[in-house]
Structure 1
């Protein structure tokens, strides 16, 4: 059945896209790590490819695929998935891939390639030089010669996904304390759906998504329980919070330092988006987020409250991919216009307006990335952007709200060392063809400045 095949191909494409982007070693700016990677010859290598045709003997000597092969492999799966799901415009459950999901995955992949080839022309030339390789004949050719062609296709597929009829979350949906960010809706293309019968809901209540993300649940890590609790909850980065436009209604997703503990602020700004009472809410510190909720707002029974759905892809990502990619192909002005349209149509309070003040590509990329960090806080999306754009992660600065023992700052124009995932030693023990990444542990010194 074409639908089953299309789903299998979509999931495999997503898995390999994520694996390749996690494990390919990117330069960190830490000399000994980067030199060790060069000496091992692992630059440009992703992960071993294992398919339904891979034998056990082959898997025991299966080297990491070079990026140009991995791109071909993933795109081939997506091309086949697109053919299989061409009529799947609506699905009965958001765990199933639709044609919109395939478009979204293609938009992600083309954007990744565009950023890479724009920054590293040698990688583009390598990709082109291997297009005719005989051992890659089983995969469709990528068929591009410039980075801009990749950006153009990223914008094209993002728009195709948007045109499937999805729409961004409204303000009321965003702040709904019963079903906000725990139930599929018109914004979600794809989701992980946990039922009350799943192990993730029935056992390990302290290891659940809700335990870590939902301050309202009366179990787990984020909950406040007087002297026996952690009383923190996940916080937004203080500098990022300060950069959110005052007219952006998303800002009340997090507790403003000026509002922390204030009853009037709770009543007028925060109560609509939480199941907490004021006496509970006032225990939480500045910057704590109330974005996520237990299933149906259930706060006391973990086997019910843990049965949440988690978005894998939201249409808002496609709007922002389209804006970024268009800025590369049609100029910063065109990208700004799309970003402003998204913000003013979907994210600004009545009577407020948003203007992107960026004058060049670097400033525009920074602004778009800021909006992405706000939009997808806690969803795992921007991890890929940090690596794709080689942006520094900065946790140590005056006024930082990061725990002191985690205030590490990575280096500009490089990826943070800890975002280069380490291939387990067990893989090397069972697969003699694999070469491991350098161990990034403690590669960056702790920021020792004061608040």
Structure 2
């Protein structure tokens, strides 16, 4: 941890200062920028913060020592939640970036895997950079004003966000374990070498720290400059709404239902739900009205075949996309009423054009859909769908239940697109789940009606009138509304739900392709849900030993 964290901070400080401050560059060589210079003024600290924003999505080897070109921050980590949990399903073999190793559960279960290592280092580098901002901005050397309080609020929010990610992946879930004794992750407060951390704290202790951090963030934001509006870049800045959204997520994951519901309501106030046109526009920009927070991926920072849309979209022009259309669990999609416009974003009847499809039904000769009684009818539908969704090359394959929810803004290209982290719809669902768990049936129905009624012209939340019925329906709504946005893995841990692609008629996944990921027992009885701590960290950190391995 120590070497990598030390160098990521210096890299961020150098990059943002030299690229954005001409006056600074004129007087300070790029290889001689010190931490003191980086934190000498509020505006310099703002530049360091912008580097932290960039670090959420840039190729990791450009941000910190030990990073790897096969992982580009949240481009990878966001869709991983749906890939691991089986919500996003691979229709054919195409293992670029080890993306199918994840689905087979042969990556995060290994202490030497790239995924176990890179997620750990990415989040601790975020923590170290947040520490540097917090420690230097609150030590009294720079006058605290509204702008500085905004920076401090963002730093505290980032630290809480990173710890939440770590504790949800490298420790047992709060609601299914014994948080007061279950080992969590190490706490790190240092902002200077040697970046020594504490030993593994308990899960409960990490939650206490997250709650303290997010409350500190809110306190600073209350007396800070407001986030600007009207640009995609503005949404990459964290503000008080993001902090309340994180507070809601933290509380939901530990079963603090009243706090979760209240924070979710506060977080969503300024972000009206999208209409049908916006909802169907591809989820490729933070400018969408209900986006609370996301990364604005600048054109000079495109990661090409390392991007979120390369991993999950069916319109990105990459071999892994063209040969392996991503499909949704057909058991989920078949439950969506025809009156719900979200169903349009899953092409249930798309012809299967892929001769290498895992189900062995690719090509007209294997067609079983009565909608295409002739090869001409089959080919006409293929051409129609490709024209609609911009699948510009013949090599793009189609598959039943393929998703077109997440589409790059310039389909058929490799252009960069934004990554959405938080939407107001998630906050309605958090409120509904929390109120359900509190036994407040009417309040849960009201929250669901606002969201469901916006998506489904015939929606009626009152038919779900028991706690069990509401929870089943909330699981369905989260599955549909948040599909592909990275929540399913942590949702299943919170709900203590396993994975079974064979149950209830099957998901559409292939056992041959999915292997160990085809069925996994529920998290309370299956430690494979917990990521392995990187062996390199255990070897290097004097406060960790082999007995600390998950």
TM-score range with shorter-chain normalisation? Answer: 0.7 to 0.9
Deviation of 1:416 after TM superposition, in Å, equals: 5.5
Aligned to 2:398: 284
Deviations 1:149-199 (A, max 9, x none): x21111111111122x1012221012125xx4344321111112211111x
Deviation of 1:18 after TM superposition, in Å, equals: 0.9
SS in 2 for 1:65: strand
Deviation of 1:97 after TM superposition, in Å, equals: 0.6
| Equivalences, count | 371
2:518 maps to 1:408: yes
Match of 1:247 among 314, 339, 349: 339
Provide closer, same or farther for how the CA distance between residues 254 and 439 of structure 1 changes in structure 2, counting only shifts above 3 A: farther
Aligned to 1:173: 278
Query: Which structure 1 residue ranges, 5 or more long, are not aligned?
Result: 115-149, 224-229, 441-451
For the 8 Å contact 1:10–1:102, the answer to whether it is kept is yes
Indicate the RMSD between aligned Cα atoms, in angstroms. Answer: 3.4
Match of 2:433 among 302, 324, 328: 324
SS in 2 for 1:94: helix
2:296 maps to 1:210: no
Aligned to 2:152: 5
CA distance in 2, matches of 1:431, 1:42: 23
CA distance in 2, matches of 1:412, 1:215: 30
Deviations 1:351-399 (A, max 9, x none): x234464443233212101110111111112221111121122222344
SS in 2 for 1:189: strand
2:160 maps to 1:17: no
Aligned to 2:239: 98
CA distance in 2, matches of 1:56, 1:424: 19
Deviations 1:251-271 (A, max 9, x none): 11111137778679969x978
Aligned to 2:98: none
- Give the alignment's TM-score, normalised by structure 1: 0.73
Provide closer, same or farther for how the CA distance between residues 83 and 404 of structure 1 changes in structure 2, counting only shifts above 3 A: same
CA distance in 1, matches of 2:523, 2:498: 7
For the 8 Å contact 1:395–1:402, the answer to whether it is kept is yes
For the 8 Å contact 1:21–1:384, the answer to whether it is kept is yes
Which structure 2 residues correspond to residues 177-326 of structure 1 after superposition, within 5 A? 180-198=283-301, 200-201=302-303, 205-223=304-322, 230=323, 232-257=324-349, 274-276=389-391, 283-294=397-408, 296-300=409-413, 302=414, 305=415, 307-326=416-435
Deviations 1:325-367 (A, max 9, x none): 11233523431232123201x1114xx2344644432332121
Provide closer, same or farther for how the CA distance between residues 298 and 270 of structure 1 changes in structure 2, counting only shifts above 3 A: closer
Match of 2:204 among 64, 68, 90: 68
Aligned to 1:127: none
Provide closer, same or farther for how the CA distance between residues 324 and 272 of structure 1 changes in structure 2, counting only shifts above 3 A: farther
For the 8 Å contact 2:154–2:237, the answer to whether it is kept is yes
Which structure 2 residues correspond to residues 48-87 of structure 1 after superposition, within 5 A? 48-52=186-190, 56=194, 58-59=196-197, 62-86=198-222, 87=224
CA distance in 2, matches of 1:415, 1:195: 43
CA distance in 2, matches of 1:219, 1:68: 43
Provide closer, same or farther for how the CA distance between residues 211 and 328 of structure 1 changes in structure 2, counting only shifts above 3 A: closer
For the 8 Å contact 1:324–1:335, the answer to whether it is kept is yes
CA distance in 1, matches of 2:447, 2:391: 37
Match of 1:47 among 185, 202, 214: 185
For the 8 Å contact 2:180–2:205, the answer to whether it is kept is no
CA distance in 2, matches of 1:370, 1:436: 40
Provide closer, same or farther for how the CA distance between residues 435 and 160 of structure 1 changes in structure 2, counting only shifts above 3 A: farther
CA distance in 1, matches of 2:523, 2:531: 18
CA distance in 1, matches of 2:308, 2:211: 31
- Give the alignment's TM-score, normalised by structure 2: 0.61
Deviation of 1:275 after TM superposition, in Å, equals: 2.7
2:264 maps to 1:161: no
SS in 2 for 1:56: coil
For the 8 Å contact 1:45–1:65, the answer to whether it is kept is yes
SS in 1 for 2:314: coil
CA distance in 2, matches of 1:250, 1:437: 47
Deviation of 1:276 after TM superposition, in Å, equals: 3.6
Deviations 1:277-310 (A, max 9, x none): 79888x411111111222x32523x2xx1x2101
Greater share of residues in helix: 2
Provide closer, same or farther for how the CA distance between residues 439 and 47 of structure 1 changes in structure 2, counting only shifts above 3 A: closer
Provide closer, same or farther for how the CA distance between residues 415 and 335 of structure 1 changes in structure 2, counting only shifts above 3 A: farther
For the 8 Å contact 2:271–2:291, the answer to whether it is kept is yes
Query: Which structure 2 residue ranges, 5 or more long, are not aligned?
Result: 1-147, 354-371
Structure 1 segments (4+ residues) deviating >4 Å? 26-29, 258-267, 269-273, 277-281, 435-440
Aligned to 2:537: 427
Provide closer, same or farther for how the CA distance between residues 8 and 170 of structure 1 changes in structure 2, counting only shifts above 3 A: same
